[in-house]
Structure 1
Amino acid sequence: MRLILTALTLLGLCTAPLFASCQGRDLMGTLTDSESALFQEQLAATPYPEGNHWRATRDGKTLHLIGTLHLGDPRMDAPADRLAPLIEGADLLLLEMAAPEKEALETALKTRMDLLLLPDSTLPELLPEEEWNRLAEAMRLRGMPPFMAARMRPWYVSILLAIPPCMTAQLTEANGLDARLERAALAAGVPTRSLEPYETGFAAFSDMSLDTQLLMIRSALSRPQDAEDLFETMLTAYFGEAHAASQIALEVLSPRLTPLTPAENAQVFEVMDGALIAGRNRAWIPVLTNTLDDSEGYVVAAFGAAHLSGDEGVLQLLENEGFALEQLPF
């Protein structure tokens, strides 16, 4: 699920408050003994598992790292207010996708339908009849006629499926932390810049095999209530600054919430993590360090909290580059 949220960001699809119409529950308390043991083992092996605000320093230069959530939620008001002065004093705010890139993305989606459509086949031809029928019904629940979904690339359909039907009508409201920080920067006259071009996400998905994309669809064909629960689990962990715990729990829970085998689940997570998390993290490091070298004051970088932790998380990669790291209040 955290990978789906990353994908939502890549496509500029920011969702509105979950609290408005969804009734999800936190699944952390439902872990079985075996799931809990696996969760604890993976968490213990994860570098920098907690904290949504970090300061990285090297050679007298300072970089603030903010783990964001691309969803709106009233619990975001307090951290956004606390972080506003930090943004106002920065030389520059780096975002996954700043306003110019978002505009370029919107233009591309209007003029380049090949980005989202299958070139020479349809989903009814690629999926077993029973799975296509389930997919068609799931798309109807989200207000999309099945004939439209039939031509879409499987990775894109899997993203749409991961969004609970209760949230479908709210996709246009951008009120996550990244959007709030960008508005604060613009109001204070602080320049903003993207960490990467908008094409990055499409390139990542286009490199995935069709078989993997079809597994992504099957993985997302769960009950609407499961999707709501996964979102609430992620939200609760985020506001507890336990971003790694959230990610690991969702991966541990996937085998019982999807029809995929453990091997298939592992394949999907490995491919998506490499393309959407680890690969992008590595590409961001020279952007962060070069920007910092060119700045007189401090720089703030705000991006999805899923990018912070792990052996190839931004924090560990910066430590590898000689930065000293300190967790700060969020």
Structure 2
Amino acid sequence: MFVRLLSFLFVIGLSQPALAACDGADLRGTLTQDEQSRLANALDDVPFAQGNHWRASRGDSVIHLIGTMHLPDPRLDPPLDRLRETIATADILLLEMTDEDEAALQTRLASDPSLLMLPDTTLPELLSEEDWAQMANALEARGMPPFMASRFQPWYVSMILAIPPCAALTEMAEGGMDAQIQDIAKSAGVPRAALEDVETIFATFANQPRATQVDMMLSALVDPQISEDLFATLLASYFDEAPAEGWAVSVILAERYSPIDPDQAADIMATIEEELLIKRNRAWIPVLLDAVDDHQKVVAAFGAAHLPGSDGVLALLQDEGFTLERLPF
């Protein structure tokens, strides 16, 4: 759910052998009756709730919209094979971040890590002694030395904690579906461009009040096995082509498992939805419209959570006069 931020974990020199494969369980089957009712209500009348591949048409203009996951997974091979021709025959590919953007960002962070660093304090000073001890243990379990992480912005630490300790971080660095889509486009000579400025995500979170960032960080401090299960649940929703369900279940499980107050956890998820999804969806629409002005066939690939909902990319394009058709994924 956290876009290419996962890739940022590797610009700080983090290296380690691949860890044990994750073995989490899909938690959707554990929802209580009350949680199932909440999920049903959350999904009621959600536009474009299902589907990872859509075609938006307006006149002679066509946009193929591919909902991605930002992690490598062998289950992606069949969808990528089916999408290969669509990508290779595009006039332009739009992504959240191109390879060139990511390389430039890595270079900048290597020489000036201030985007990730607290300017005036450290995490041990912001947290209680007990909370910092738990945080340090969680970071060490993910191969991150606490002394290094102690100066990170709290929002960035929350991104690190979103990856369960079981995950093979070095394999994640190789890139997920976005990177593979980009490789297909490059091999076919398809031009590529970004949907947004590379520093958009940093600004999105860095501008949040520090107290909100700390809550984000603490809300991610869950038991390692629960972290694996949350990870597995999100992936299972993705491969079920149920992005709206994936997000709604994440909200419910955040309230169930986050160590902070459930109301605070709900507020954090609402903030993430507004800042990470809704605002960016709206900002991407002019970029997509400009692309179809100049190109007859556009392919846009981005995190699947951006697709569904009344504020999702699909509904916003429908508001612009596009006809939407779900295609095989």
TM-score interval, normalised by the smaller of the two chains: over 0.9
- 1:254 Cα deviation after fit: 1.3
- 1:36 Cα deviation after fit: 0.3
Q: Deviations over 1:7-34 (max 9, x none)?
A: 62584769xxx99611111000000000
Which structure 1 residue ranges, 4+ long, deviate > 2 Å from structure 2?
5-14, 168-175
Q: Distance in 2 between matches of 1:163 and 1:172?
A: 10
For the Cα contact (< 8 Å) 2:19–2:166, is it kept in 1? Answer: no
Q: Deviations over 1:278-321 (max 9, x none)?
A: 111000000001111111x3110000001001111000110111
Q: Deviations over 1:82-125 (max 9, x none)?
A: 10011111101111101111111111211221111111111111
Aligned to 1:308: 307
TM-score where L is the length of structure 2: 0.94
Q: Distance in 2 between matches of 1:313 and 1:124?
A: 38
- Aligned residue for 1:193, secondary structure, equals strand
2:224 is equivalent to residue 224 of structure 1: yes
Partner letter of residue 308 of structure 1? Answer: L
**Kindly, what percent of the aligned residue pairs are identical?**
49
Q: Distance in 2 between matches of 1:232 and 1:322?
A: 37
Aligned to 2:15: none
- Aligned residue for 1:93, secondary structure, equals strand
Q: Distance in 2 between matches of 1:195 and 1:215?
A: 29
Q: Distance in 2 between matches of 1:66 and 1:7?
A: 15
Number of equivalenced pairs: 323
Q: Distance in 1 between matches of 2:236 and 2:142?
A: 25
Q: Distance in 2 between matches of 1:311 and 1:115?
A: 32
2:60 is equivalent to residue 63 of structure 1: no
For the Cα contact (< 8 Å) 1:28–1:233, is it kept in 2? Answer: yes
Where does structure 1 lack aligned partners over 5 or more consecutive residues? none
- 1:140 Cα deviation after fit: 1.4
CA 1:165–1:131 in 2, change beyond 3 Å: closer, same or farther? same
Q: Distance in 2 between matches of 1:209 and 1:217?
A: 13
Q: Distance in 2 between matches of 1:74 and 1:195?
A: 27
Aligned to 1:125: 125
- Aligned residue for 2:263, secondary structure, equals helix
Q: How does 1:130-141 map to 2 (within 5 A)?
A: 130-141=130-141
User: Larger deviation: 311-320 or 263-272?
Assistant: 263-272
Q: Deviations over 1:149-195 (max 9, x none)?
A: 11111001111111111115425533422111110010011111111
2:23 is equivalent to residue 8 of structure 1: no
- Aligned residue for 1:104, secondary structure, equals helix
TM-score where L is the length of structure 1: 0.94
Partner letter of residue 128 of structure 2? Answer: P
Q: Deviations over 1:126-166 (max 9, x none)?
A: 11111011001111112222111111110011111111111
CA 1:10–1:268 in 2, change beyond 3 Å: closer, same or farther? farther
CA 1:173–1:144 in 2, change beyond 3 Å: closer, same or farther? closer
Where does structure 2 lack aligned partners over 5 or more consecutive residues? 12-17
Task: Provide the alpha-carbon RMSD of the alignment.
Answer: 1.8
For the Cα contact (< 8 Å) 1:142–1:168, is it kept in 2? Answer: no
